[in-house]
Amino acid sequence: MKKLNIIFVIIFSVSSGLANLQESLQYPEQEIGIVEHLGGHVPLDLIFVNENADSMYLNEIINKPTVLSLVYFNCPGICSPLLSGVVDVLDRMDLKPGVNYEALTISFDPNDTPELARDKKRNYFMAFRSGPFPEENWHWLTGDSLSIKKLTDAVGFKYKKEGRDYIHAGALIVLSGDGKISRYLRGIEFQPFDLKMAITEASQGRTGPTISKVLLYCFSYDPAGKKYVFNFMKVGGTIFIIFLIIFIAFLTIKKQSKSGESEVVHGK
């Protein structure tokens, strides 16, 4: 009975630790990067301005699975390769824009203008190789600071202004037709299969975990270097705690086993 109680306590301790670890993976405290809000919703009543200087509610655009990218148009860093990655994956994916999905790029810099959005859109549309992409199915929006904050807060997009530029992460966020956050695809390069699966799940109202959640736990964003670096302290501490729990459990069970054997011997 004592052995069972000890084992139960050990299992409970390990389970609690794993639960805390899972929570930290899902809602990591960070200033810059992405905190995933899978299953949450973006506020569709927000107003933005498209590349033609027309004001639009998000619900006028997001009525089917939507591939959202958050950038700013004067970005000297990852925004350009991110948008090139969007062009590349949309160019190679066999789903039909306007039928299966919409694409949506929104600037999180309130100083960006519709004219700048229009110029950027024109430049990136010239990069499609398999044929012209329908202009009406990839929307490029700008907005005021309040609308931007509500949107970025809703999707967990954390960024920080540094001088004239912003420090931020790169990802695609796939939304369902009712604005539900279905999947995050992190990085600046994307595989057609991954995006197709994410769009398919969004069309069914499903949400899916991000494969790179473990990577997010293992890596931390370095504002100085503007890149992700391996977090030796966090990963090493986690491994140490796991081995410590296993070691204590082993010693405890071994001690109880010897005690039980001793009682049997004395009983004889």
Instruction: Please tell me whether the overall predicted TM-score, pTM, comes out greater than 0.75 for this model.
Output: no
| Domain 31-210: assigned CATH number | 3.40.30.10
DSSP character string of 144-172 = -HHHHHHHHHHHTEE-EEETTEEE---EE
Per residue of the chain (268 residues), what is the pLDDT tens digit?
444 454 444 444 444 454 445 444 444 456 789 999 999 999 999 999 999 999 999 999 999 999 999 999 999 989 999 999 999 999 999 999 999 999 999 999 999 999 999 999 999 999 999 899 999 999 999 999 999 999 999 999 999 999 999 999 999 999 999 999 999 999 999 999 989 989 998 988 776 555 444 444 555 545 454 344 556 676 677 777 787 888 888 777 877 766 655 555 555 5
Q: What does residue 57 show for φ and ψ, rounded to 5 degrees?
A: -80, 150
**Cα(208)–Cα(267) distance, rounded to whole angstroms?**
58
Q: Are 41 and 233 in contact (CB under 8 A)?
A: no
